[in-house]
Amino acid sequence: MSAAVQPVAKKVPSERTFHGDTVIDQYAWLADTENDEVLAYLREHNAYTEEATAAQEPLREKIFGEIKAHTQETDMSVPQRRGRHWYYARTQEGKQYGIHCRAPIAAEDDWNPPVLSDDPLPGEQVLLDLNAEAEGHEYIAVGAASVSPDGALLAYSLDTSGDERFTLRFKVIDTGEVLADEVSGAFYGATWAPDSRHLFYTTVDEAWRPDSIWRHELGAGAEDVRVFHEPDQRFGVGVGLTRSEKYLMIVASATLSSETSILDATDPTGEFQVLLPREEDVEYSVDHAVLGGEDRFLFLHNRTGINFELASAPVGAPSDWTVLVPHRDDVRLDFVDAFARTLALGYRRGGLPRLALAATEAEPSFSEWDPGEPLANVGTAANPEWDAPRLRLAYESFVTPGTVLELTPDTGEQTVLKRINVPGYDAGQYAAEQVWVTARDGARVPVSVVRRTDIDAGGPAPTLLYGYGSYEATMDPWFSVARLSLLDRGVVFAVAHVRGGGEMGRAWYDHGKKLEKNNTFTDFVDVARHLVDEGRTAPDRLVAMGGSAGGLLVGAVANLAPESFAGIVADVPFVDPLTSILDPSLPLTVGEWDEWGNPLENAEVYRYMKAYSPYENVEARPYPAMLVTTSLNDTRVLPTEPAKWVARLLANSTSGERILLKTEMVAGHAGVSGRYAKWRETAFEYAWILDRLGAAQ
């Protein structure tokens, strides 16, 4: 088959019947990604896509060059103190990956981080050079890089295929020797016990659910001990150490329920004990704090209200709660970080993240921290040390690059430690605003809008509308160097914070899931139409974009309102949700039933999902041009979903617009690895977007 001819998938009828409904799926055969015919089909699409976009190659190169020019390629993160060393990461011009390093502290009472430099710090030790580890591999990702409490060993794990299963190894830092101890099939993370001898890690089951926690004893030569197994397929597990290093904690969590088990960290071979038993529809997270000189647990929970409250209890009586911050209908509590001197509380109000701080008194009183910019994303930065005299905070916005500062709680003094340097960038040339759109049922949807200040806010301007809207995830303000290549060509970037996300609190999420999922899709359509009705843009100057569950969003929107968009970009899109959620053997399916409902057991859920599934509802209609991406080794959204969707779109679209499929043959859900490779992938997508918007100049 010539690359100049769009590949056409053959039709092989496959029948399924649920709840009396029989469906014939003509493209189910594309699920077998180990089949040579399927692989050939994907490669043919890649060849066609490359040829169909060949004219955009000069623009891609320009965008890649712009991203490169706006990036300080040789750079260094703000060093974090831990024990007797400063820990940091460096990047070097021309190298794809970061280098994890440390350098000794000058004195025990030295809390002032070293001055940032392009050169290695005095006494630097390289912990993990991912460039060296990547040699011979097309893909590489780090699952863990954890230094033992005594500072002698590095536990690190690598994935070289993109399937998110890692090999865990141990290195002697001073000599570089890699020990014989090795663990295959580990999941993300590695937690040392304070004795620097025992390490805890997670593994997944056949459905890619993190279900077990294991204890490894370094050098023992014995089989690892499974200390926790979660039989309920709705729950995933993880393990960690409190910042105070007093407790090891195992958290089992489902979408709507959680449970924490604890163990005195000085007794790593002991038995974990459940802190508070799990309850249906009750979520809680735990941290250890010292309030007014007393050891207490902090509980962030939703037992008394959907937006959570903060309570504390003595460690010896964890059910004896004292409310510190009560539930409020207009404020969603997100997290609490405990330090020896300070508590940091993250919360949401008015669609935006906020941060409040309090001294660790018996009854702490919180005060909001103001970053000085209304439309900002705020939080705590990396603060590994429990008793650090200063607290690190971080913020960024659509126009302000990521910033790390230190706050002295006693005096309120603030010192900026680093703001990401963006060569050639003038923040004064860009503006961001929050606008509100009234959806068809009266809900008010927040929308973030970013543009150059010399672009007429009244439009109609070429516009990229982005959305996600699932899992209570939030699309909070973030700075993007690559986005400048769009903005500088007059493109307006907008984010529709639709229901199903968490921007407006738990109710916002609840009204965009299960049998209310359609709100996610209609909100996005209503935002698009509002931008057109207000004259900010026009249908032929508007492209929609979403990835993963955001790909489900734009896929559903393609069926609901294809006339509203000049193009759609769907990255690793979850576009065949009903087929996937009907199969409990697939990765993540059972745990997803709290998000989508269970169509296996519930006929109403089945009918509802079938009615919005992008794949199920492709019909003869004039679809806009589309660029669809996927990765062969993606375990979260299997590549069969976008492959089937594109096949059905090509068989039905009446517009004559090109619908392109691009598959990364060695990558996972996050796409390619390596910063230059990622920049080229971004440049590919942005060139396509600019071409569709008529804004290539």
> What residues act catalytically?
548, 634, 669
> What span, in angstroms and rounded, lies between the C-alpha atoms of 68 and 61?
10
Residues 680 and 329: their CA atoms lie apart, in Å, by 44
Give residue for tokens 């007093």: 246
Asked if 91 contacts 420 with a C-beta cutoff of 8 angstroms, the reply is no
Q: Decide: residue 388, CB within 10 A, 0-12 exposed, 13-18 middle, 19+ buried.
A: middle
| 651 φ/ψ angles, rounded to the nearest 5 degrees | -80, -15
Kindly state the greatest CA–CA separation across the chain.
74
| E strand intervals along 277-402 | 284-291, 294-301, 309-314, 322-325, 332-338, 342-349, 352-359, 367-368, 376-380, 391-397
CB 592 within 8 A of CB 208: no
Tell the burial category of 677 from Cβ atoms under 10 Å away from its Cβ (0-12, 13-18, 19+): middle
Residues 6+ apart with CB under 8 A from 176: none
Closest by CA to 594, choosing from 202, 203, 309, 258, is 258
For residue 359, give the 3-state DSSP assignment: strand
In three-state secondary structure terms, 556 is helix
Residue 513 near residue 434, CB atoms below 8 Å: no
Alpha-carbon distance of 306 to 507, in angstroms, equals 7
CA 231 to each of CA 48, 212, 261, 652, 654: distance values in angstroms, whole numbers, following the listed order: 46, 9, 15, 44, 49
User: Which residues, in sequence order, are bridge partners of residue 418?
Assistant: 404
Residue 575: name the closest of 550, 606, 601 by CA.
550
